[in-house]
Amino acid sequence: MKDRNRFIFSAASRREFLARTGSGLGGLALTYLLDRDGNFTPSLSAAGGSTNPLAPKPPHHQPKAKAVIWLFMEGGPSHVDLFDPKPALEKLAGQPMPASFGRPITAMGTANNTLMPSKRAWKQYGESGIWVSDWYARIAEHVDDMAVLRACWADGLNHVGSVCQMNTGSILAGRPSLGAWATYGLGSANQDLPTFIVLTDAGEVVGGPKNWSAGFLPATYQGTLFRNDETPIFYLLPPDSVSVEQQRSKLDFLAELNRSFAADKPEDTELEARANSYELAYRMQSAAPEAIDFSKESDLTKKLYGLEDPITAKFGANCLLARRLVERGVRFVELYCGSGSGWDAHSNIEGNHGKMCKVSDQPIAGLLTDLKARGLLGSTLVIWGGEFGRTPFNEKGDGRDHNPWGFSMWMAGGGIKGGQVIGATDEIGLRGVEGRYHVHDIHATILHLMGLNHLRLLYFHNGRGERATVNGGTLIKEALS
């Protein structure tokens, strides 16, 4: 009896014993329900499948978008000078901001500066009649394919945290980027090229590789930075002294050693995953240079992207490369325009944005035209935007400060219902007041269009299930076709 009592009443009291027992049974029931809803994915090795982490995986639901092209205008483009006209700024020009709009905490302490109207000419375009400024006259011709989100908002004030959040969902470094989550959830559609590719056009992206990092996901899901020249990836090609036969022989010998080592360790999938990455690098030696070879593109296509003009040639080449990559099965391509905060117009916004719009207007319009002509726009989600917008009040007399409280982005193609404006900012364009959507909502919608449920896309890290949207996010249902 003494031993039996010690076994039964190991808890401090009968009540604690019953509470612990009930919690255990509840945990079993919860596990069953989560598994039934598909929240636990068995390891591929246990299921008898491939141990290749980039093997194609079934989506949660039928995807509308096979690929994503994210046009990231780094530095913060001004929504009140591009996609969100504010006549009230004309009436209030040169006056302090009325107290009724509140005094935000600004990055540069400019909240008490006077209001500054836009100098742009505005016009309605397409059957939808969406307003766009003359800075983006060519992109404006495609508004009927776009859903313009006018009340996006984010949490950061400065570039490093804000660029990081727009990519990873958090202003703090360490979380996986959205492209890494998509790669983790879907695998690769082309075993000869990376699934997630990043292209830059100027300086180094603020915050660097953390913006396309895999975070706590396995490193194989991180983005691959391409250079737009004949060698897109450093050290991709072997030295001239090493023949193809020699390299193939070395890889085969390495694979034999790995198989021998792994023979009595069937539960260890890391070794085979690393071997797969070596094989991918080998296959990319021919696939990657072919993808960036524009020699077979027509002169008309090159002109469409602005490759003959020094102003548009570099970003235009990246836009053309993005189209070629999605054609070849790359799922997620991110293009930075103005990498190194090129859109950051704290002064002389006319000069800064005038230049950046010339750089990007024709190439982006060309990309949309080309995708549509090739029948790719319907299966390719195109996203435009920066890490935040800019304030309606001036900085240094002729510039604008950072504005994360209400700014514009747009989406086109890939399951988007075009020809509409979603949400609104206040009369001066400072804060979102209708149809406000956070970065997590934008991420949830992108994943949804790719066939992934952001609440079911789980990775267990440090004892908890992590999600791309940090346990938040609401679908932007108005944007979906």
Domain boundaries defined on the chain: 2-36, 67-229+292-479
Three-state SS string over the chain comes to CHHHHHHHCCCCCHHHHHHHHHHHHHHHHHHHHHHHCCCCCCCCCCCCCCCCCCCCCCCCCCCCCCEEEEEEECCCCCHHHCCCCCCHHHHCCCCECCHHHCCCCCCCCCCCCEECCCCCCEEEECCCCEEEEHHHCCHHHHHHHEEEEEEEECCCCCHHHHHHHHHHCCCCCCCCCHHHHHHHHHCCCCCCCCCEEEECCCCCCCCHHHHHCCCCCCHHHCCEEECCCCCCCCCCCCCCCCCHHHHHHHHHHHHHHHHHHHCCCCCCCHHHHHHHHHHHHHHHHHHHHHHCCCCCCCHHHHHHCCCCCCCCHHHHHHHHHHHHHHHCCCCEEEEEECCCCCCCCCCCHHHHHHHHHHHHHHHHHHHHHHHHHCCCHHHEEEEEECCCEEEEEEECCCEEEEECCCEEEEEECCCECCCEEECEECCCCCCEEECCEEHHHHHHHHHHHCCCCCCCCEEEECCEEEECCCCCCCCCHHHEC
Give the model's pLDDT for residue 235: 58
Give the model's pLDDT for residue 64: 98
Pick 67-229+292-479's CATH classification: 3.30.160, 3.40.720, 1.10.8, 2.60.40: 3.40.720
Give the model's pLDDT for residue 8: 46
Give the model's pLDDT for residue 49: 45
Residue ranges of the chain with per-residue pLDDT less than 50? 1-9, 36, 41-49
Q: Is 158 exposed, middle or buried (0-12, 13-18, 19+ CB in 10 A)?
A: middle
Distance separating alpha carbons of residues 183 and 185, to the nearest angstrom = 5
Distance of CA 309 to the CA centre of its chain: 28
